Structure formats: C-alpha cells, structure tokens
Structure 1
Amino acid sequence: MDTKEPSPLDRRRIARKAVEALGVGRSDHAIVRVTCPASHRVATVYRTDEGPVIVAGGGPGAHGSRDRVDTAHHGDRLGSEYVDMLESTRFEDDEVPARCACGSRTLSRAELKRAVQTHTHALAVP
C-alpha cells in the first residue's frame, strides 16, 4: 500500500477541517458553484489552505444565500454534506455523490477540476 497518500477517510477529515477553518465567511472562498436546473445549490468548490475542497449535498443554504435550513420538496430534511478534497487517490472513482432538493446526483471530479483550472465560476448540471 502506498503510505504517501492519505486514506479516503483521512483525506475527507482533512477536507472538513480545512472548510471549517474558513469560518462563517467561507462563501468568500468559493471558486466553483454547481447548481441544478431549478437553481438549487448542488455543490461548491472552495479554495482552502489544503487545496480545493468540494462540499456537496443538501444542507443549510441550498437555495442560495437565504438564511434558513433547507427542506426538500416532500418535507424531508436533506442529508448532511459530503466534504472531500477535489484531488483523489489513483484508486478512486471520478464520481462524487451530491444531492439537492430535486434528488441525488453524481458529479465528476475531472469536470470540477477543469472548471477550477479554467476559472469557470458556475456549473449547471442536468
């Protein structure tokens, strides 16, 4: 096993701490925002001291900057955030789980990396 690369679990812990370190103004560090056709926030990539971190899933603020806890259209609370480094190990899939009030989605790390590299600040997913 290659001990130079952190395990996926360790990498996600590092990513979560990096995002938490951004504090309440973390939106100031957003570099890519991903939305669905209904304009729900699906994911955001943040610039952190550890590198780009993706935060995906439904939680507070899923409809933009409204200061309220999001509730899905059917009255269920959305799940917790999935937080991970944008870079992954060579043994992992390209896919990142995400969701919004419309339902579950899968995002591509490669597509998100291209958006970061080309300074694309907003992506819409089908």
Structure 2
Amino acid sequence: MADDRVDLINRDPNNINQHVQANFEDVLGEPDGTRSADCVWTYSSKCFEGGKSCCYIFLTAMCGIFLALFWGCEFAIISFEQIWCATPAYRCFSIYAIYVQKCVGTYLSCYLGPICETCGLCFSRIRIEKTG
C-alpha cells in the first residue's frame, strides 16, 4: 500500500506544473518611463494576490475533491485498459505477426526468389558496349 502521508509543504515535488507561474511579478510589470503611483502598484499587487488566492481556494474547495476522484478513476481506467486489454492484444498480434512473417517469407523464397534469380541470370548476360 502506498504511503498515505502527503507532503503539505512541497506540493509539486516533480515540478509538473512549474510552467504555471502566476505571481504578480510574473504577470504584470511596468517598464521604465511608465509608472503608476506607488500606492496603486502596492494595492494592485495585494488585490491580485488576494483575488488569485481566494478564487483558487474557492475553486479547489468546490471542485478539487471531485476532480481528484475523476482523474484517479481516469488513470485507473487507463491502467486497466493497458494491463487487461492493450498489452494482451499486442502480445496476441505479435504472435500472429510471427506466423504471417514466416508465411510471407516462405512464399517469397519459394515463388518470388526463383523468378528473381532467373531474371538476374538472364539480365546478367546483357553486355553494353560503348561505341564511338
């Protein structure tokens, strides 16, 4: 059984969502020469971070558990399909493919091989002479 403890500090240990940088400094920036009042910039930062935090907490509270259940079931279905359907089907296909490969190989060596060998012998007698 997997360890039931979750890391409440590092919640993305494999960095799978590192591309989702959504801090104020990552989204908004004023270049030199274009500045708002310091109080506007300060309160904008607080509103951005507060709004983002509240909205994220609300959405995760409303949907997080259900989405985790959905994705858990989705990956269980994918695992089931791979383990019980795709892998055995692929193994069955590969067994039959060996049989087909042997049949095609036998056909080619018995029927097509002598024809190609005969054509090769016939055409090997052709001589090209350069005149002029």
Q: Which has the higher helix share?
A: 2
Structure 1 length-normalised TM: 0.26
Larger radius of gyration: 2
Q: Which has the higher strand share?
A: 1
Q: Which has the higher contact order (CA 8 A, sep 6+)?
A: 1
